[in-house]
Amino acid sequence: MANQIVRNFAALGEDHAAEATAEHIKDYWDPRMRAALRLPETKSALDPIARRAAELLHN
């Protein structure tokens, strides 16, 4: 699902897309869904921009 969100924000450029995706996830995702972004198997399936958004959330 994070990869789909990134595609919606892709026109903003990589940095802004990562920030907008992180903000969307923070605002709308259940805490369990956000926590799942930390799992290695989830990280490996993420688009690089979605991976960066996940890192922004957890830093």
- Digit-coded pLDDT (tens) for 7-23: 999 999 999 999 999 99
Specify the residue for token string 């399936």.
Answer: 45
Task: Output the average pLDDT for the chain.
Answer: 96
pLDDT, position 41? 94
For residue 37, what is the DSSP state?
A: T
Q: Which of 59 and 43 is assigned the larger pLDDT? A: 43
Radius of gyration of the chain (CA): 10
Segment 22-50 shows an average pLDDT of: 95
Q: Greater confidence, 59 or 6?
A: 6
Query: Maximum Cα–Cα distance for the chain, whole Å?
Result: 28
Cβ atoms of residues 25 and 53 within 8 Å: yes
Q: Is the pLDDT of residue 54 over 90?
A: yes
pTM above 0.85, yes or no: yes
